[in-house]
Structure 1
Amino acid sequence: MPKVSVIMGIYNTNNKIMVKKAIDSIINQSFSDFEFIICDDGSSDNTYEIVKEIISNDKRCILIKNNRNMGLAYSLNNCLKIAKGEYIARMDADDISMLDRFEKQVKFLDNNPQYAIVGGNAELFNEEGTYSKRAMKEYPTKEDLLFGTIFIHPSIMMRKDILLKLNGYRAVKETSRCEDYDLWLRLYAHGYKGYNIQENIYKFREDINAFKRRKYKYRIDEAKVRYKGFKNLKLFPKGYIYVIKPLIVGLIPQNILAILRGENK
């Protein structure tokens, strides 16, 4: 059995160079005891064939496919159904993992059984190169969830048994752009906690196309996720103002938000 199962969803990307960089950053990890499960989410282009060719020479890689486009949460749950590893690691098809990422995360989880999940900091990059960094709080608490996500989703590694206790990702309409945030809310509501390695273990693509995908309807869905999550975490009445936060933030232009976050060039 592999120590780690890496799960990744992919959909309609014919950028072979980008996808290959993402996959190679996993295949070439300094920690090699893993399986890499990739779920094509019913792509209508040649994404499936591109990935199949890239992974053809590595027996640790497994490619599956949804019959139709179902969304990231559904795809990740599909990967979980066949995952055999003790730990579950995430990866996205347009990002890059630092080559010692798994080595550091496995060591942390092995040595710190009190933590259910470990993430880390990341470099931010786009088509022009690295332009900033994103630092996450080292010891996130449930109160930190009021302000937003506490882990960079594709950077995390989590204990599979705990993820299964939570029934994996919640694949419903309201979590279609915040399936990770919903998971963190449920994770902490069940009394688990996580840690962020204070090093850049990941390279996160944040470009203009990512900004364009953030439609306002997803802000409304996030508000619903926040309400349910905060209620389970007993964060009301303080949490009420933070429930409507995504609705307000959604009205602010993305270039202004980038400046406010200190992530502009």
Structure 2
Amino acid sequence: MSNLMDPVVTIVTPSYNCSRFIKETIASVKAQTFTDWEMIIVDDCSSDNSCEIIEAEAALDSRIKLHRLQKNSGAAVARNTAMNMSRGRYLAFLDSDDLWLPTKLELQLDFMRTQDVGFSFTSYRVMSEEGELTERVIGVVPSINYDTLLKNTIIGCLTVMLDRHKLGQVQMPNIRAKQDTGMWLSILKKGHLAYGLPVELSYYRLVKGSISNNKIKAVYKMWRLYRDVEKLNPFKALWCLMNYVKNAVFKRL
């Protein structure tokens, strides 16, 4: 049962060898105009000094919490661990190299409460690994359902907010990639819709070597999500994949 002292929002952040970026990511959370949040950072056995940086930040702000996994398990386990520890009604997701604009939580919470929705996502801008902002802004659609998301790549994890009072308990599938998309699909499969807020509220860092930046690997991981998690037959999976690739190309343009 919720306690009156529980935060409104839990921010879920997986961490792995993120010492170059994590302090800036945390700073973007601390700069939020909405302040009733907790940030749970789950470290996946980093070999750099990520944990020391996070511990120093947590010592300065009790809203920031660090949990260390005992063995390297992947982002899905890290995020699920954070969600299991969370106390907020709303879940928001921010990876350890991405950034939020200061009004992100305030505007998105207001949107969800005003529109009475349980799942929202927003526009975001792509930045380089070095933090240089690009001209690429990923927009939103007013709403998206399960069948449409199977063929699309429009929901950025760093933009998502979920209301657990409306959606119930949520978990990511324990896969090494596309686990966020897998969770969005599991929610929408129950008949929920995801609603887009057409405001740029986040910066997504494009890191060299990441799965999201390796297009061939990303397509293969999407195929495995269709077949292994969603259990689509090969023909429907191929149809969805063709549309996914087409929409991904349009998104880049």
TM-score normalised by the chain length of structure 1: 0.82
From 19, 23, 34, give the equivalent of 1:14: 19
**1:129-208 residue pairs with structure 2 within 5 A?**
129-131=132-134, 132-161=136-165, 164-166=168-170, 168-171=171-174, 175-208=175-208
> Aligned partners of 1:116, 1:194: CA distance in 2, in Å?
8
Structure 1 residues 224 and 35, CA gap change in structure 2 (3 angstroms): same
| Structure 1 CA distance for aligned equivalents of residues 211 and 67 of structure 2 | 28
Hey, what's the Cα distance between the residues in 2 that align with 1:262 and 1:186?
A: 23
**SS of 2:12's equivalent?**
strand
- Alignment partner for residue 125 of structure 2, among 116, 123, 140? 123
Task: Assess, with a 3 A threshold, how the Cα gap between structure 1 residues 142 and 112 changes in structure 2: closer, same or farther.
Answer: same
1:254 paired residue number: none
- In 2, Cα distance between equivalents of 1:128 and 1:20: 13
2:251 and 2:144 mapped to 1: Cα distance?
Answer: 20
Paired residue for 1:38, among 26, 29, 41? Answer: 41
* Separation in structure 2 between the aligned mates of residue 224 and residue 162 of structure 1, nearest angstrom: 29
Q: Closer, same or farther in 2 for the Cα pair 1:83/1:240, shift >3 Å?
A: closer
CA contact (8 A) 1:22 1:94 kept: yes
Give the 3 Å change call, closer, same or farther, for CA 237–187 of structure 1 in structure 2: same
Cα displacement (A) at 1:49: 0.7
Note the alpha carbon deviations across 1:52-77, whole angstroms, 9 max, x for none.
Answer: 11332111111111011111110011
Secondary structure of 2:210's aligned partner? helix
Indicate which of 63, 71, 89 corresponds to 1:68.
71
* Deviation (angstroms), 1:118: 1.0
**CA positional deviation for 1:176:** 1.4
Q: How many residues align?
A: 245
Q: 1:186 to 1:150 in 2, by over 3 A?
A: farther
Counterpart selection for 1:58 from 57, 61, 64: 61
Amino acid at match of 2:236: G
Amino acid at match of 1:153: C
Deviations 1:94-114 (A, max 9, x none): 11101000001111222233x
**Which amino acid in 1 is paired with 2:84?**
K
With structure 2 as the length reference, what TM-score do the two structures score?
A: 0.85
* Contact preservation (8 Å) 2:93, 2:159: yes
The 8 Å contact of residues 223 and 237 in structure 2, kept in 1 or not, is answered as no
**Corresponding position of 2:3:** none
Native 8 Å contact 2:211 2:217 kept in 1: no
Gapped runs of 5+ residues in structure 1? 250-256
**Corresponding residue of 1:86:** 89
Q: 1:134 Cα shift?
A: 1.1
1:210 paired residue number: 210
- Which one-letter code corresponds to 1:44 in the other structure? S
Change (3 A) 1:148 1:90: same
Mean Cα deviation higher: 236-245 or 93-102: 236-245
CA contact (8 A) 2:43 2:67 kept: yes
Q: How far off its partner does 1:183 sit?
A: 1.0
C-alpha distance 215-145 of structure 1, shift in aligned 2 (>3 A): closer
Distance of aligned partners of 1:214 and 1:45 in 2 relative to their CA distance in 1, 3 Å threshold? same
Aligned residue for 1:239, secondary structure, equals helix
User: Over the residues paired in the alignment, what is the CA RMSD in angstroms?
Assistant: 2.8
- Which position in structure 2 is the counterpart of 1:108? 111
How far did 1:133 drift?
A: 1.1
Q: Per-residue deviation at 1:136?
A: 2.1
